[in-house]
Amino acid sequence: MKAVASWRSEDRHDAPCSFALNMEDHVLERQLLLPIRQKDAWEFFSTPLNLARITPPYMGFEIMSEGAHLPIHSGMLIRYRVRPLIGIPLGWTTEIRNVDRPFGFTDVQLKGPFAKWEHHHRFIGTPQGIRIEDRVVYRLPFGPIGRLVHRALVRNRLEAIFDHRERTLRAIFAVE
């Protein structure tokens, strides 16, 4: 099964009408079918250290938190350092929420490069294996400037990161 990617933007007009305050959420959705068991999917994706294995090397991804070898739990905080642009290090802290073992969880950015980042991970059993569903709802800071940067750079970069992730997962789990 080929990974399915879809992008959409959802306008949010919760703030008063102001060009600078009108923020836009973006949504990235991906699906990947792996011929593995529910237990294997959960063990892999619920171990924070494995995130480094599926992140492109050019991101300079480092987990800074102690205990990253332990399985996730609701309320767990994970600190990372990434270098997404020209090697400049950025701190990123996420909180794990809504853990529903072995079916899914959400990581929410508390500190980092996005104005909003919520990554929903779902693991759904099928006769062929586990369908991994990712849904990322994110927003860039800086209003209109953030929207321009999204179109010019961020959207393509996120697509490339998830493409790398798919290729790596297929290699790890020996999917042709």
Tens-place pLDDT, residues 18-44: 333 446 899 999 999 999 999 999 999
Least confident of 7-11, 101-105, 141-145: 7-11
pLDDT for the residue numbered 17: 32
Average pLDDT value for residue range 123-143 = 94
Give the mean pLDDT of the chain: 86
**C-alpha span between 83 and 98 (Å, rounded):** 28
CB-based contact 60:153 (threshold 8 Å):
no
pTM of the model: 0.83
Which has the closest alpha carbon to 79: 56, 52, 103? 52
CB-based contact 25:9 (threshold 8 Å):
yes
Instruction: List b or e across 112-133, with b for residues whose CB sees 16 or more CB atoms inside 10 angstroms.
Output: ebbbebbbbbbbeeeeebbbbb
